[in-house]
Amino acid sequence: MVQYKLYYFDGRGRAEVIRLIFVTADVEFEDIRISREEWPSMKPNMPLGQMPVLEVDGVMLCQSGAISRYLANQYGLAGKSDMEKYWVDAFKETMEDIAKKYPFYEEDEEKQAEMAKQFFDETGPDGLKQLEKLYGEYNDGSHRYFVGEQLTVADLTLISFVDFLKALKEDIFDCVPDLVSLDKRLREIPTIKAWIERRPQSEF
């Protein structure tokens, strides 16, 4: 049996989609949460000096997107065909593009506040509406999941994406009811629901 060890900070962040893949696939993994105090001594031993890192039978894998894609292919969550795999990636990348527009790394507080307001008032809602439009155009919005009738890593990314944006502004999804409905359906999947209820509470 393959042994998985996932290294990340004590938060959801970039590791949560990876955790959701394991949970959905019913695969055991060691969820190793590194404190901020521990990180400096561990950083030199991590590929690229960053996390998340997934250790697979002693081999250290880096880059969260590459890890999630690798696991999704391993456990049937990547899409059934090459075209479905394209759409899974397209939905994932669209969500990632929206998230990157939030000014997390702006050091000037006044400028960050201005940029955050623009994100909440314009950039964020506009991006969400585009994502919902893409969802509707691909499968007319009636399918149970992002891509057809099968759960994929795109859906698991939506769960993490919703957690991320709602922590910033609770009502930001009010403008995209179809995405809200999809997210609610996903959270009722028994394995996902159980994980959300038992996972450690964290700031991010």
Q: Dihedrals φ, ψ of 41, to 5°?
A: -75, -20
The pLDDT of residue 140 is 66
Environment class of 46 (CB within 10 Å of its CB; exposed 0-12, middle 13-18, buried 19+): middle
The pLDDT of residue 103 is 94
- State pTM to two decimals: 0.94
> Taking a C-beta distance cutoff of 8 angstroms, is the pair 52, 14 a contact?
yes
Map out the domains of the chain with their CATH numbers.
Answer: 4-76+192-198 (3.40.30.10), 82-188 (1.20.1050.10)
Intervals of the chain under pLDDT 70: 140-143
Q: What angle do CA 2, 47, 15 make, to 5 degrees?
A: 65
Spatial neighbors of 88 by CB under 8 A, at least 6 apart, are: 72, 78, 79, 146, 147, 152, 153, 154
